[in-house]
Amino acid sequence: MDIKSSKILVTGSGGFVGSHLVEKLLSKGYHVKCFVRYNSRNDHGLLAKIPKNFLKDVEIVSGDLRDYDAIFQALKGIDIVFHLGALIAIPYSYNNPKDVIDTNIIGTFNVLNAAKYFSIDKVIHTSTSEVYGTALYVPIDEKHPLQGQSPYSASKISADKIAESFYFAYDLPVATIRPFNIYGPRQSERAVIPTVIRQAICNNNIYLGSLTPKRDYTYISDTIEAFIKIAQLDETIGQTYNIGSSSNITIGELAKKICNLIDPSIKIIQENKRMRPEKSEVKCLLADNSKAIKNLKWTPKTSLDEGLYKTIQWIKSNLQHFQSDDYII
């Protein structure tokens, strides 16, 4: 599929991954429209980090994924949809499960329903490795059972299945990308890597929750490359692709690695308020990325050490956005 001549909509474009995807698409000369969640400050989130000359001809639409009319209007004249919009914070989902369920399930349904109405050429639906829960076997392939260990993961499982149903029931051209833990510049302290980096730069101690869970980290630019490959290839329709590095590391080991890059004398302290409920903690994630390697001709290019170094440098240059010692949910 030649997407260069297509009109593209990116939901969640003001977020960490969405802003990087928008920037990459614009750098390639693609025609992009951005959908961001409305706020009265006219704040477009991390789109502000994209060079202004890139955004000068971009239409930015504010609305809410839960509002079908807003989604319907946003999809008019669109050929391809990258659906990234979601509420993604797991601790937030413990406190506000209905908000997460409404946004992630109803919001996805609205995007798919409007895409069906307009006969959109392709929808790239964004999933998450959290839908797998604690690995029943490793590495985790796309056939691994789905386990809703948090309201967030349950909402994403539902969204994934709704996307799947629109492919089977209505022949809607949907492809699902399932990234493992993405990291890199612009990510907020909601995620563990910027949390550790900011504390290591600013404090003598790092406060974390459980140190034993294992995660599979993929640098942002590698993940964005996978998004675009999935959009370009016709054979990805109806398919799901794990996007991960196929290696993992415990949270404790990751924190030590970051400390060694910043200040090896920093102490790591566990804090109860940062712990997930015991049965909700996902203890191990490790991607089997062989399907993506074979079908997409995609491989992660950025090592964890290289990616952490780049992320550290970005946070050091943008500390004004990372000044709170509060636990960010």
CATH of the domain at 125: 3.40.50.720
Say if residue 80 is in the same domain as residue 225: yes
Considering the domain boundaries, does residue 171 fall inside one?
Answer: yes
Say if residue 17 is in the same domain as residue 146: yes
Considering the domain boundaries, does residue 233 fall inside one?
Answer: yes
3-class state of residue 311 by DSSP: helix
pLDDT of residue 61: 97
Considering the domain boundaries, does residue 43 fall inside one?
Answer: yes
Say if residue 46 is in the same domain as residue 179: yes
Say if residue 143 is in the same domain as residue 254: no
What are residue 255's phi and psi, to 5 degrees?
-60, -40
pLDDT of residue 265: 95
Considering the domain boundaries, does residue 327 fall inside one?
Answer: no
Q: How far apart are CA 84 and CA 62, in angstroms?
A: 15
Say if residue 170 is in the same domain as residue 98: yes
| Tally of domains within the chain | 2
DSSP category for residue 115: H
Say if residue 112 is in the same domain as residue 203: no
Take residue 67 and report the two structure tokens written for it.
């509002």
Say if residue 145 is in the same domain as residue 41: yes
Say if residue 62 is in the same domain as residue 37: yes
pLDDT of residue 57: 85
Nearest-CA neighbor of 243 among 182, 307, 167?
182
Considering the domain boundaries, does residue 168 fall inside one?
Answer: yes
Chain-centre distance for alpha carbon 187: 10
Considering the domain boundaries, does residue 295 fall inside one?
Answer: no
DSSP category for residue 144: S
Low-confidence ranges of the chain (pLDDT < 70): 323-325
Range of the domain at 154: 7-183+218-243
Considering the domain boundaries, does residue 293 fall inside one?
Answer: no
Say if residue 143 is in the same domain as residue 201: no
Say if residue 281 is in the same domain as residue 222: no
The CATH number assigned to the domain holding 309 equals 3.90.25.10
Chain-centre distance for alpha carbon 41: 24
Say if residue 155 is in the same domain as residue 20: yes
3-class state of residue 183 by DSSP: strand
Q: In angstroms, what CA-CA distances link 47 with 10, 75, 84, 181, 326?
A: 12, 20, 14, 21, 25
Considering the domain boundaries, does residue 326 fall inside one?
Answer: no
Say if residue 209 is in the same domain as residue 141: no
Write the pLDDT tens digit of every residue in 121-147.
999 999 999 999 999 999 999 999 999
